[in-house]
Structure 1
């Protein structure tokens, strides 16, 4: 797969891609771009190996703090499309480009809202700056008081706001001076309030739109992400062309056949290694009078690859395996706490893909000591992308011993934080005449404090570094990949665990049968291999997940 920068013969609008309706994991991750919950909630999705860092910004500038959707969409776009970005980890079972497009679409919706709010801030705020500063000070004090654990804090904050409103009304009626400045002072009292009312209508409309998209993604309606700036309509639109190429590079990297082994973290993107089965015996001629016909590891791997393609077929019509993805992987070792990865480069790599002749050479020669290793992988994407099962096979020959190793990897569903649907704001209050009963009261979709926060942030969205310094942001876990960074273990889900465990037995038997056939064809005595294979076949019938990457477990 190559990334090209050429234009089509005819420029024009294109229909945005919406993706597959079965991509539950993709849509769950994309929904985070439209959420309006507190930014700190992203910490709930952290797993054992990958933690997100929340940078809260300046303590005195809480009004500039972003919510989860704002921080998530900005962080994902900067990390996955930013200039000079570090390599990404593949997100198996998801479409990273679709997630990034939804982040871009969410940023566009918020940018349109912020443009209108900025105009309101200029007309109703900047021109009447003294009044704006007083009202902002009141809201800041009210927010600080409301954060206290005391139950009376909310009442105190509301009383403060009401008291200031009364004083403003008195000041408006009985002005201590006359003339132009008297009318300007009255305008300073009134115009920020008018601007707040105007801004609230805009914020409610945008919040409703974002929540509808959030709900639609999780309901499976496959709402499209509109990213018109990624579709160049002429040769002079360099920004659109650069964005289009960045999205193309993202898709190309997703198809890379290079992965990374990070010690106890397992293979990044595939999950930890939960099971290992090894068949290792000496290569002895079947006929003592004749030598073994020379063969290489690649010959055994190629035979195994051909037989794995038949996994979806069986003697009975019982459903069975769906068609798996069978690929040759180049696995590079990195440190457990490595903050970045480096993909292979050189003449043997094209568009993030290690070329077939280089894969074959690594399979045959790099079996001991430093360097990358070759694995043949058979992978299933199940449960609408929520479960990734990968079985990896490697063949090594050291001296006279041939070893066939089969390992099982499993990556569980995305954290439940991403699958929660929006709920209408509400609270329970005590009934007036029946204090022993409660009733549910609907709250405004956008609170007063939220309108103030959005209006104050709007003018600064044109310069994100300052806004991030004031309000904070989130730092994504590195090495970053959308899928593995927020994945849970599959072992808490009974059926997912069963699927992972059941895949081991047929794969192991197919691998051993294919390998033994190649050995027989090349004059190897397969008696010991057959006995060892039978023993492993018996043991694998009762597999149990364990931390195979932690060697002292």
Structure 2
């Protein structure tokens, strides 16, 4: 039995669903779930319209701060699968369900690590609390010294640890207690240190696993996201069934034909509008003795829709256009600074899809004043999902004037932050006998401070609100969609810009030819339309990207 959630069987073995071949954007976004950078680095990926809200937490509790992968995974899962979540923006050129599944898988890996670390903290720390607190104080002082003085802080920190170790040895040799308390004091000094070595092994094993997944995704996505809790094994597993339904709901919303126009931001998920070409002329009968045969905007749109399917065909074998996605869109206007959107509801909507008869009514009737509008869109997903080109066509008839408008939208590549591959920790040091030369020294995959941070965080990861309050959280840009939130402009990439600009001319000509065919069939004089089309056809041959939604008024 096949289900929408992407698995082969509801109650059978799990078969993870992977994204399509070459989905670079999907894998780049998914790789963020496994990263160990500082979580403040996400600000580097912000664009002109969408900024991530990085909340720092308590100043005195820096040890509880998450890294990028921890904050990203939790934020994405909570936003996209949480109960009562707000509507999402479609991620054109990416598969959000795959990204969410990787976030869930990364959370599972970290939960397994935190369970181990929590046990270590109880056995080696909580039972010997005085020693644990003293060692934590030493590590906190060391971290503070290193941060305040980058040049000499490392050496001073090492001296502090060495001094603490010497005092610990002296304390063990010259024990001021006898009997039970003497043995407890010795254990309080030694057990936190033994626990640290044990925790270091656990942390390094997990870090190696996460980094391998991070690298594999950026190399082509050979690693799958394993989310067994999303596959119910019996009808009584309500939590697993709820998660499966949430993933299915996410996929259904991704296929919605409802989008949102946010002023200068353009259509959310499709990018800003960079070009606009309008043809508007009066409807005059070709034969003055006969009236124009009545037709509607939908008749013109349907003809354009049929002709756009021929874009991938050409007389010359030169490659040309790949297969495009041609869809009818219902566009809802929202404020530029809107923090949430609301999808159409009612009897005309089913599974986030506006029904065909409702789309036809919007096309024919809602051309002036408030309400949703209809657009016919032809969309190409290029560069392995890194470039989304969308040409939108709308036809309106007001009084005796027919207007055909073609607009170009482009969404650029995912920010370069998401394409950075993991690098082995290292530092440059001066050679002993050649001070004018330097060499690279490999550092441990997980350093001392990171082991302490993970061990201290582990016991409270079961209660995320407290952990978020102490260490901080990541607030995703709203209205949220995985793809457009961290997209760059395509105009900085020469070939991407060329692809976007080249699509305008053939689309415009096909739209005009299809519209003229309907006009002629219904007895309309197309002479003025033809003259206007020729002028536009000449102008579109030298298009330049601009902010078409920024009006200087």
Q: Report the TM range for the smaller structure's normalisation.
A: over 0.9
TM-score computed with the length of structure 2 as normaliser: 0.98
SS state at 1:60 partner: helix
Other-structure match for 2:324: 324
Other-structure match for 2:134: 134
Displacement, 1:149?
A: 4.2
Other-structure match for 1:285: 285
Displacement, 1:10?
A: 7.8
**1:172 counterpart = 2:205:** no
Inter-CA distance 494–129: structure 2 relative to 1 (3 Å threshold) = same
CA distance, structure 1, for counterparts of residue 414 and residue 149 of structure 2:
33
Displacement, 1:9?
A: 8.7
Displacement, 1:15?
A: 1.4
Displacement, 1:18?
A: 2.3
Other-structure match for 2:386: 386
Larger mean Cα displacement after TM superposition, 9-18 or 282-291: 9-18
CA distance, structure 2, for counterparts of residue 11 and residue 94 of structure 1:
28
CA distance, structure 1, for counterparts of residue 185 and residue 316 of structure 2:
86
- Superposed CA offset, 1:469-493 (max 9, x none): 0001100000000000000000000
- Superposed CA offset, 1:50-106 (max 9, x none): 000111101111110000000000000000000000000000000000000000000
SS state at 1:503 partner: helix
**1:456 counterpart = 2:456:** yes
**1:190 counterpart = 2:184:** no
- Superposed CA offset, 1:200-243 (max 9, x none): 00000000000000000000043100000001111001010000
**1:78 counterpart = 2:78:** yes
CA distance, structure 1, for counterparts of residue 261 and residue 428 of structure 2:
50
The answer to whether the 8 Å contact 2:8/2:14 transfers is: no
Displacement, 1:140?
A: 1.2
Map residues 151-170 of structure 1 onto 2, 5 A cutoff: 151-170=151-170
The answer to whether the 8 Å contact 1:3/1:245 transfers is: no
RMSD in angstroms over aligned alpha carbons? 1.4
Displacement, 1:307?
A: 0.1
The answer to whether the 8 Å contact 1:278/1:404 transfers is: yes
CA distance, structure 2, for counterparts of residue 43 and residue 165 of structure 1:
40
CA distance, structure 2, for counterparts of residue 230 and residue 540 of structure 1:
50
CA distance, structure 2, for counterparts of residue 8 and residue 25 of structure 1:
25
Map residues 23-102 of structure 1 onto 2, 5 A cutoff: 23-102=23-102
The answer to whether the 8 Å contact 1:102/1:225 transfers is: yes
Displacement, 1:144?
A: 1.5
The answer to whether the 8 Å contact 1:21/1:222 transfers is: no
How many pairs align?
A: 551
Other-structure match for 2:425: 425
TM-score computed with the length of structure 1 as normaliser: 0.98
Displacement, 1:19?
A: 2.2
The answer to whether the 8 Å contact 1:3/1:249 transfers is: no
CA distance, structure 1, for counterparts of residue 14 and residue 433 of structure 2:
60
CA distance, structure 2, for counterparts of residue 395 and residue 206 of structure 1:
57
The answer to whether the 8 Å contact 1:18/1:222 transfers is: no
The answer to whether the 8 Å contact 2:266/2:549 transfers is: yes
CA distance, structure 1, for counterparts of residue 394 and residue 51 of structure 2:
31
SS state at 1:512 partner: helix
Other-structure match for 2:12: 12
Other-structure match for 2:415: 415
Other-structure match for 2:358: 358
SS state at 1:332 partner: strand
The answer to whether the 8 Å contact 2:10/2:231 transfers is: no
- Superposed CA offset, 1:391-424 (max 9, x none): 0000000111000000000000000000010000
The answer to whether the 8 Å contact 1:3/1:351 transfers is: no
Inter-CA distance 425–144: structure 2 relative to 1 (3 Å threshold) = same
Other-structure match for 2:215: 215
Other-structure match for 2:239: 239
The answer to whether the 8 Å contact 2:4/2:251 transfers is: no
- Superposed CA offset, 1:409-451 (max 9, x none): 0000000000010000001111001111111100000000000
The answer to whether the 8 Å contact 1:266/1:549 transfers is: yes
CA distance, structure 2, for counterparts of residue 481 and residue 451 of structure 1:
34
Other-structure match for 2:313: 313
The answer to whether the 8 Å contact 2:52/2:477 transfers is: yes
Other-structure match for 2:531: 531
